[in-house]
A and B are shown apart, each in its own frame.
Chain A
């Protein structure tokens, strides 16, 4: 029952560590391969294949790709769309879950299912109608349409997650606050919001990354090059008869980096959340 005896060597923890390092290496191996090819010249790739170490640092592929797709603009578009969707999506999820999980409105189960469908419905079932609807309201080829669509789609997930979490909250606590004179908005922001912050941050990260990597609907809704996003730019390298592999790898690195940075930044807030176990 007692922990370490001062002299014995706790080998178990080093085995665990080793296993984890192995797991991480296997998981990250594909990224390594991308990295290898990002700086390879096409001739080098042709002679030695994708799994060889590059024979020199070749940066032209990166540069050509950046210029051909005006990558800076694509980065800005992706960032713009992803951040707006992430923030407004989280707020929407919070509102919905508040009503469903705390308010326990009648017909909760059905409404929850409805909202959840927003995230679950296959995008193929939406694509053609959304195209026509967007044309109808003159929002075809606009970032606004993309943002609007994804706020709805992503927030549905959070609605579900949050309302599940909220259902576990003790009612008395909230009722106590209400008796004390707090209105619904105050309860939301002073009690619910801080407690659910870790989950909200998770949602924020998810929404950003999911939206950033969305390909299909943005492909359909965004026509002008000036409005297109990073995944679409990367896809342009899939040619009709062949794929420009080295440039694709270079572009892949470029495409991943923002998400990785974003994730790294918000990682810390993810775990530095507040323990919510006891609502004392």
Chain B
């Protein structure tokens, strides 16, 4: 018995030595991308604008990171973009790396960008707490010149530009730090079959909306699928606030133009309405334990006739719902809705292939790549509408166009950490553990303490 243990131990020791050897040798390997292009970069740096392909592109590697799945609209669109790019850049290898999930990128972005391991161009979230923060830390390249040179500001106009430009970490103005390929917004998804079964029509005002929901409640059905342990609940709360809001509220809240009055009519309306909706049974208290996934599942399974959430679900619903007919409508009575430009392509300051990175962004904005985005249920910014014949997609694009002028961004953007605070506060509201006024106080406290310092 003792001998056996000894034998086992010696085997382990041998294994350790083998592995240690392996570990040591891999630790010495330098980062391939940095090495490979070192030879060609100096000759490129002083060269003409990257509009012309450099024939000494041979052997260069462009590392592109993103965190979308390949089966989704963005993923497929970017695979197309890779084709487009490689066709016009023979000799350059594009390494499209989506092996990291969103959470992972979010947690480690500033660390990675502050080192030698950063990619050449990557997808990142828009907003003050994310891209804004990185820009204020000096980790992103100011791409304003490229934007004007390549005409990206003609493709991304109005509200779409807001999330691409940051000054001192606050969006809306200043230098360009990112470029988006798509848009997103929040609306109401509804189950057409259930609506028909209970004889209700798409509401056009908030009162009509509540009447529709009363019908369902009377029939013993909870009208709205909700996930209050994650983002959906706070977006619904925001919708209710926006129902009574004007542009100044959005500007104050998101851009800090003036201090926000959290007990204004609009905010009070939103909080009280939300509590009211829980009392009336439109939203169930149990939703505090459910996440976005549960919400989507509940809707897809036909348990709930409606869910109020974003266009990022559209493609998935198109794929997964086979049992019933469904559609969308904008939140009744709202001039403003949550939504914005999509995630950004950012170029890390430490990128050594910036010219190629800009070409990559061009490729993602190309009509070919954008058409793929549209066909798959994404919301492209530069697609050719004549190429999109799917009525479901046309429905989505039409709604998006209707929404665009009233883009109000997202409720958790103004302060870092506001997402978790809002989840907690709205949970308390739904549970009835805090009154609407107390909830607003709590949100106000966190917002005021954590919003960035403005001059």
The A52-71 residues at the B interface (CB cut-off 8 A) are: 64, 68-70
Which chain B positions have C-beta within 8 A of A43?
Answer: 319-320, 322
A106 to chain B, nearest CB (A): 32
Decide if A171 is an interface residue (CB 8 Å cutoff): no
Decide if A205 is an interface residue (CB 8 Å cutoff): no
What class of interface size applies to chain A in its complex with B?
35 or more
The B11-70 residues at the A interface (CB cut-off 8 A) are: 12-13, 15-16, 19-20, 22-24, 26-27, 31, 67-70
Most chain B CB atoms below 10 A, which of A50, A139, A143, A228: A143
* Known interface pairs A142-B26, A223-B112; 16 further A-B residue pairs with C-beta atoms within 8 A, sorted by A's residue number: A43-B319, A46-B297, A83-B16, A87-B12, A140-B117, A141-B31, A144-B24, A144-B27, A224-B117, A235-B104, A236-B67, A236-B101, A238-B102, A239-B68, A239-B101, A241-B313
22 contacts between A and B (CB under 8 A): A45-B297, A47-B301, A47-B323, A64-B71, A84-B19, A87-B13, A140-B115, A141-B31, A143-B27, A144-B23, A197-B5, A219-B108, A220-B108, A223-B115, A224-B117, A236-B67, A236-B104, A241-B292, A241-B310, A241-B313, A243-B293, A272-B1
Q: Evaluate whether A269 and B102 lie within 8 angstroms (CB atoms) in the complex, with A43-B322, A46-B300 already known.
A: no
In the complex the two chains form, is B293's CB within 8 Å of A236's CB? no
A225 to B67, CA, bound (A): 13
Decide if A184 is an interface residue (CB 8 Å cutoff): no
The listed residue (A48, A147, A228, A274) touching B1 by CB distance below 8 A is: A274
The listed residue (A47, A84, A239) touching B67 by CB distance below 8 A is: A239
What class of interface size applies to chain B in its complex with A?
35 or more
In the complex the two chains form, is A47's CB within 8 Å of B98's CB? no
In the complex the two chains form, is B313's CB within 8 Å of A242's CB? yes
Contact mask for chain B residues 313-331; partner A; CB cutoff 8 A; 1 contact, 0 none: 1001001111100000000
In the complex the two chains form, is A142's CB within 8 Å of B107's CB? no
Interface of chain A, main secondary structure: helix
Decide if A42 is an interface residue (CB 8 Å cutoff): yes
Which chain A positions have C-beta within 8 A of B398?
Answer: none
A245 to B111, CA, bound (A): 29
The A3-60 residues at the B interface (CB cut-off 8 A) are: 42-43, 45-50
Decide if B257 is an interface residue (CB 8 Å cutoff): no
In the complex the two chains form, is B99's CB within 8 Å of A242's CB? no
Which chain B positions have C-beta within 8 A of A68?
Answer: 69-70, 98-99
Name B residues whose Cβ lies closer than 8 Å to a Cβ of A. Answer: 1-2, 4-5, 8, 12-13, 15-16, 19-20, 22-24, 26-27, 31, 67-71, 97-104, 107-108, 111-112, 115-117, 125, 231, 292-293, 296-297, 300-301, 310, 312-313, 316, 319-323
A213 to chain B, nearest CB (A): 16
* Nearest neighbor of A266 in chain B, beta-carbon distance: B8
In the complex the two chains form, is B301's CB within 8 Å of A147's CB? no
Give the A-B pair count, Cβ closer than 8 A: 126
Interface of chain B, main secondary structure: helix
A269 to B293, CA, bound (A): 43
A201 to B107, CA, bound (A): 36
A119 to chain B, nearest CB (A): 21
In the complex the two chains form, is A235's CB within 8 Å of B101's CB? yes
Which chain B positions have C-beta within 8 A of A46?
Answer: 297, 300-301, 320-321
Contact mask for chain A residues 210-237; partner B; CB cutoff 8 A; 1 contact, 0 none: 0000000001100111011000110111
The A105-153 residues at the B interface (CB cut-off 8 A) are: 131, 135, 139-144, 147
A43 to B320, CA, bound (A): 5
A42 to B297, CA, bound (A): 11
For the complex of A and B, 5 pairs with smallest distance between CB atoms:
A236-B101, A240-B102, A223-B117, A46-B320, A225-B99
A168 to chain B, nearest CB (A): 21
Which chain B positions have C-beta within 8 A of A87?
Answer: 12-13, 15-16
In the complex the two chains form, is B99's CB within 8 Å of A69's CB? yes
A238 to B106, CA, bound (A): 12
* Nearest neighbor of A139 in chain B, beta-carbon distance: B27
Q: Evaluate whether A236 and B108 lie within 8 angstroms (CB atoms) in the complex, with A46-B301, A83-B19, A269-B5 already known.
A: no
B240 to chain A, nearest CB (A): 21
In the complex the two chains form, is A42's CB within 8 Å of B20's CB? no
A142 to B16, CA, bound (A): 17
Which chain B positions have C-beta within 8 A of A144?
Answer: 23-24, 27
A124 to chain B, nearest CB (A): 12
Q: Evaluate whether A49 and B301 lie within 8 angstroms (CB atoms) in the complex, with A235-B101, A236-B104 already known.
A: yes
A84 to B17, CA, bound (A): 8
Q: Evaluate whether A49 and B297 lie within 8 angstroms (CB atoms) in the complex, with A42-B320, A235-B104 already known.
A: yes
A1 to B146, CA, bound (A): 92
B339 to chain A, nearest CB (A): 13
A228 to B312, CA, bound (A): 28
B6 to chain A, nearest CB (A): 9
In the complex the two chains form, is A83's CB within 8 Å of B99's CB? no
A28 to B19, CA, bound (A): 34
A228 to B276, CA, bound (A): 48
In the complex the two chains form, is B101's CB within 8 Å of A241's CB? no
Which chain B positions have C-beta within 8 A of A244?
Answer: 69
B30 to chain A, nearest CB (A): 10
Q: Evaluate whether A236 and B100 lie within 8 angstroms (CB atoms) in the complex, with A241-B292, A269-B5 already known.
A: yes
Decide if A88 is an interface residue (CB 8 Å cutoff): yes
Which chain B positions have C-beta within 8 A of A88?
Answer: 16
In the complex the two chains form, is A235's CB within 8 Å of B108's CB? no
Which chain A positions have C-beta within 8 A of B316?
Answer: 242
A45 to chain B, nearest CB (A): 8
B310 to chain A, nearest CB (A): 7
Which chain A positions have C-beta within 8 A of B101?
Answer: 235-239
Which chain B positions have C-beta within 8 A of A225?
Answer: 97, 99-100
Which chain A positions have C-beta within 8 A of B20?
Answer: 84
Most chain A CB atoms below 10 A, which of B13, B20, B24, B71: B20
In the complex the two chains form, is A143's CB within 8 Å of B23's CB? yes
